[in-house]
């Protein structure tokens, strides 16, 4: 039996001058789990991923890859990791098959096996139509596709993907997400992304960081029972706009959207809101047609947690 973690970081910190980009972050990625790393721009996602890969060294804390403390001699551990950087770097004068064969050379000496693998990943990410072109002319999305392909050349046990779908057209995004989904159980994935729907679709666990600090580390299934981002859906026969006007200033209302006669109210305090909303409706003399509580989505939890954090920041 292998180790019970593919990656474990403990108390990881990184500073750039005055700025603490990653602040005492700890977490574990278990074998076969797909973990979504989310957080605002500049939160420290890319920096964290680079420390896991040994591309930058932490100021504090430790990284374990496949149960072993990471050091620069740990080539065996690194060889089991496929990495797609936020800005993939290629040998620009090469064509995709040449480049992928070159990458394949790091993992295998078997030319035939490498060529087979190249054909597989080229097909997987729609690169066949680009095979005769030099990489230097590639568009952003074409580069993302090639970036995914190179990350998979070594048939990794862990895939580290830094915003793999950014810049992709809808079909490309669908293909990448579907591919990650198909890896389920075969490879662990640690993927940073701003597309929370993608996390909801493919990830088992969610890691959220903001200003370098971990603010959430939970199985996706538990997100729906979080206190943040609970919403009430309510429908009135008329007067929805006026009601929205009354509701929006309540301290327990986080976000409010109106669609015809239906209001969706994301609240910070379910029990207060559950009592106050019907009372407000009665006071305004409005007729309530529907009143239901809905569990939070990942987006709502995200907005609530990241915004909450900012409010607490000293001015």
Q: Please list, in sequence order, all residues whose beta carbon lies within 8 angstroms of the beta carbon of residue 132, skipping any fewer than 6 positions away.
A: 95
**78 interacts with ligand ATP by CB under 6 A:** no
195 DSSP assignment: -
Cα gap 278→272, rounded to integer Å: 11
173 binds, among ligand ATP, Mg ion, none (CB under 5 to 8 A by kind): none
In the chain, alpha helices (H): 45-52, 75-78, 96-104, 111-124, 140-152, 170-182, 196-202, 220-223, 240-247, 270-283, 298-312
Find the largest Cα–Cα distance for the chain. 78
For ligand ATP, the closer CB: 21 or 146? 21
**In the stretch 184-203, what mask flags binding to ligand ATP with x, by CB under 6 A?**
--------------------
Please report, as residue ranges, which positions from 70 to 129 form the binding site for Mg ion (by CB under 5 A): 86
Query: Strand 158-162 and strand 81-84: pairing?
Result: parallel
Task: Residue 287: name the closest of 238, 232, 233 by CA.
Answer: 238
For tokens 């976000």, name the residue. 255
Cα gap 155→145, rounded to integer Å: 16
**39 interacts with ligand ATP by CB under 6 A:** yes
Instruction: Work out how close the CB of 167 gets to ligand ATP at its nearest, in angstroms, rounded to a whole number.
Output: 13
For Mg ion, the closer CB: 83 or 99? 83
Cα gap 203→193, rounded to integer Å: 11
# residues contacting Mg ion (CB under 5 A): 3
For tokens 């990650």, name the residue. 180
- Pick from 1, 41, 73, 75 the residue near ligand ATP by CB under 6 A: 41
Spacing of C-alpha 63 from chain mean position: 20
Instruction: Work out how close the CB of 132 gets to ligand ATP at its nearest, in angstroms, rounded to a whole number.
Output: 33
**310 interacts with ligand ATP by CB under 6 A:** no
**46 interacts with Mg ion by CB under 5 A:** yes
Please report, as residue ranges, which positions from 8 to 37 form the binding site for ligand ATP (by CB under 6 A): 16, 19, 21
16 binds, among Mg ion, ligand ATP, none (CB under 5 to 8 A by kind): ligand ATP
# residues contacting ligand ATP (CB under 6 A): 12
Query: Strand 34-38 and strand 230-236: pairing?
Result: unpaired
**46 interacts with ligand ATP by CB under 6 A:** yes
Instruction: Work out how close the CB of 72 gets to ligand ATP at its nearest, in angstroms, rounded to a whole number.
Output: 19
193 binds, among ligand ATP, Mg ion, none (CB under 5 to 8 A by kind): none
Instruction: Work out how close the CB of 209 gets to Mg ion at its nearest, in angstroms, rounded to a whole number.
Output: 11
For ligand ATP, the closer CB: 209 or 265? 209
Q: What would the two tokens of residue 279 be?
A: 């009372």
- Residues of this chain that interact with ligand ATP (CB under 6 A) are 16, 19, 21, 39, 41-47, 86
């Amino acid at each position: 039996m292998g180790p019970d973690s593919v990656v474990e970081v403990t108390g990881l910190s990184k500073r750039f001058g005055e700025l603490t980009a990653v602040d005492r972050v700890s977490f574990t990625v278990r074998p076969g789990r797909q973990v979504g790393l989310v957080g605002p721009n500049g939160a420290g996602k890319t920096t964290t991923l680079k420390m896991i890969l040994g591309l930058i060294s932490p100021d504090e804390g430790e990284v374990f890859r496949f149960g072993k403390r990471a050091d620069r001699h740990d080539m065996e551990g690194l060889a089991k990791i496929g990495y797609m950087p936020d800005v993939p770097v290629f040998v620009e004068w090469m064509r995709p098959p040449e480049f992928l064969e070159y990458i394949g050379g790091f993992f295998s000496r078997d030319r035939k096996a490498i060529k087979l693998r190249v054909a597989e990943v080229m097909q997987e990410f729609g690169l066949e139509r680009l095979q005769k072109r030099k990489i230097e002319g590639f568009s952003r999305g074409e580069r993302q596709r090639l970036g995914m392909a190179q990350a998979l050349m070594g048939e990794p046990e862990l895939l580290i993907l830094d915003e793999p779908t950014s810049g992709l057209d809808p079909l490309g995004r669908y293909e990448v997400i579907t591919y990650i989904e198909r890896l389920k159980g075969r490879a662990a994935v640690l993927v940073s992304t701003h597309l929370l729907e993608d996390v909801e679709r493919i990830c088992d666990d969610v890691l959220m960081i903001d200003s370098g600090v971990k603010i959430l580390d939970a199985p996706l299934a538990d997100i729906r029972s979080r206190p943040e981002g609970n919403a009430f859906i309510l429908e009135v026969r008329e007067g929805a706009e006026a009601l929205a006007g009354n509701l929006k200033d309540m301290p327990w209302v986080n976000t409010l959207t109106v669609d015809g006669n239906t209001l969706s109210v994301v609240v910070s305090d379910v029990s207060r809101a559950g009592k106050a909303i019907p009372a407000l409706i009665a006071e305004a003399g409005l007729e309530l047609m529907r009143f239901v509580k809905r569990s939070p989505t990942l987006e709502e939890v995200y907005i609530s947690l990241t915004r909450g954090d900012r409010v607490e920041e000293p001015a």
